[in-house]
Structure 1
Amino acid sequence: MQMRDLDKALADIVAIRSQIAAGTAFRGYGPATMVATGALALLTAILQYLLIDNPTTDPLAFFLGWGVAAALAGVTIWIEMRARSRRHHSGLADAMIYQAVEQFLPAGVAGVLLAVVLWRFSAETLWLLPGLWQILVSLGIFASVRSLPRSVALAGAWYFVSGFAVVVLASRTHTLSPWTMGLPFVIGQSVMAVILYVASGDHDVED
């Protein structure tokens, strides 16, 4: 009986912590890291422009480059997210990090699976992928709005519009370009950085 009561008490504590985390503004994302990831996107675009003669005929190099850039950006964000969460959220840090990952994870998994499916079964449509990735990023940002400054929806809107614009532009030539990946992410991450800097995680968020 005592063991069951202890298990129930622990489960109640976990549930309470999760509820508190869900109602707390997440301060794990910092503007400096957003700027850094935007700079990484710009660097990747420049290197691909200089080193890949024709990304459309060499899609492996194109998408491998962006995959490496995405992995580096993800690691950078993860490291800062853990450090800032420990500093700002103290005992709720783990719950807040879990919540942040949970909100963005579906979009990230969908992006990876979409790339695999197109590569395996419809390689001639790979020109769609840069725009589709941007749309998925927008959906991940919109899913995170409830725990971030509400104005991050502007960044989500940017990625949503840029994603469809890239699809429309690429549909004319069915080609891949480092700039249709690099420039939207440079602008989008810069918008996120400005929003996070202005909001500072304290206001522009529902209590």
Structure 2
Amino acid sequence: MHDLDKALADIVAIRSQIARDTAFRGLGSATLAATGLLALTTASGQALWLGEPTGRPILFFGLWIATALAAAGLIGVEMVRRSRRLHSGLADAMVWNAIEGFLPAVGAGACLALVLGRFAPDQIWMLPGLWQVLVGLGLFASARILPRAVQGAGAWYLLAGLAVLAMGSESHALSPWLMGLPFAVGQGWLAVIMHGAGGRDGDF
């Protein structure tokens, strides 16, 4: 029984190693482009109907958090669907590896929002830029299983986040466009990368 347990453990370890060394093809270009369009739509809606968002940060960030959850849901469903078709028996491990690269960035983003909202509400204007920096770092962390060109999109998010922080440092104002445009461009860039890498297969 001990030998059987060891053999099963070895098989699991081998499958995990193969999954870590295999290029992930679970991201579809159409879905990524749709999330960029979703960010642009949210920014447009806030610019038209929200007015001056600085005085209503809860509504401003609430809409963006809802947008992020919707985008994550779209990407998650597509990841599972494509992985089961393209990665077969390694699908679960491949999806987990892809998620694992972004978990620290997601956790850090949530903690930053909670800490700034609770202890430094006057500095909450920094969140859009900080979130963009974290997305860039998440892409860099995931580059080992994604096309190398993804690092370019990661650099875009990093530089865009720093630029947003610099532009907002004087007025401390919240801007739908400083939140939406970097994400729209970044997701569009990712869509082009995945399209070129074969990520269009099986898209909607």
**What TM-score results when the alignment is normalised by the length of structure 1?**
0.95
Equivalent position to 2:147, from 140, 149, 157:
149
Q: How big is the shift at 1:5?
A: 1.9
Query: Superposed, which structure 2 residues align to 1:51-200 within 5 Å?
Result: 51-200=49-198
Q: How big is the shift at 1:6?
A: 2.0
Equivalent position to 1:49, from 47, 50, 61:
47
| Residue correspondences, number | 199
Question: Hey, what does 1:37 align to over in structure 2?
Answer: 35
Q: Partner letter of residue 4 of structure 2?
A: L
SS, match of residue 27 in structure 1:
coil
Output one character per residue of 1:112-161: Cα deviation in whole Å (capped at 9) or x when no partner.
11100000000000010000000000000000001000001110010000
Q: How big is the shift at 1:181?
A: 0.6
Q: Partner letter of residue 200 of structure 1?
A: G
Unaligned runs of 5+ in 1: 202-207
Q: How big is the shift at 1:200?
A: 1.6
Q: Distance in 2 between matches of 1:56 and 1:13?
A: 54
Question: Hey, what does 1:18 align to over in structure 2?
Answer: 16
Structure 1 stretches of at least 4 aligned residues deviating more than 4 Å after TM superposition? none
Output one character per residue of 1:85-126: Cα deviation in whole Å (capped at 9) or x when no partner.
001100000010111111111001110111000000000000
Q: Partner letter of residue 8 of structure 2?
A: L
Q: Distance in 1 between matches of 2:104 and 2:122?
A: 25
SS, match of residue 150 in structure 1:
coil
Q: Partner letter of residue 7 of structure 1?
A: D
Output one character per residue of 1:152-176: Cα deviation in whole Å (capped at 9) or x when no partner.
1110010000000000000020000
Q: Partner letter of residue 125 of structure 2?
A: W
Question: Hey, what does 2:202 align to over in structure 1?
Answer: none
Q: Distance in 2 between matches of 1:78 and 1:38?
A: 15
Q: Partner letter of residue 193 of structure 1?
A: A
Unaligned runs of 5+ in 2: 200-204
Q: How big is the shift at 1:18?
A: 0.5
**What TM-score results when the alignment is normalised by the length of structure 2?**
0.96
Q: Partner letter of residue 49 of structure 1?
A: A
Q: Partner letter of residue 136 of structure 2?
A: S
Q: Distance in 2 between matches of 1:114 and 1:144?
A: 21
Q: Partner letter of residue 51 of structure 2?
A: D
Q: Partner letter of residue 56 of structure 2?
A: D
Q: Distance in 1 between matches of 2:45 and 2:33?
A: 18
Identity in percent: 59
Q: How big is the shift at 1:11?
A: 1.1
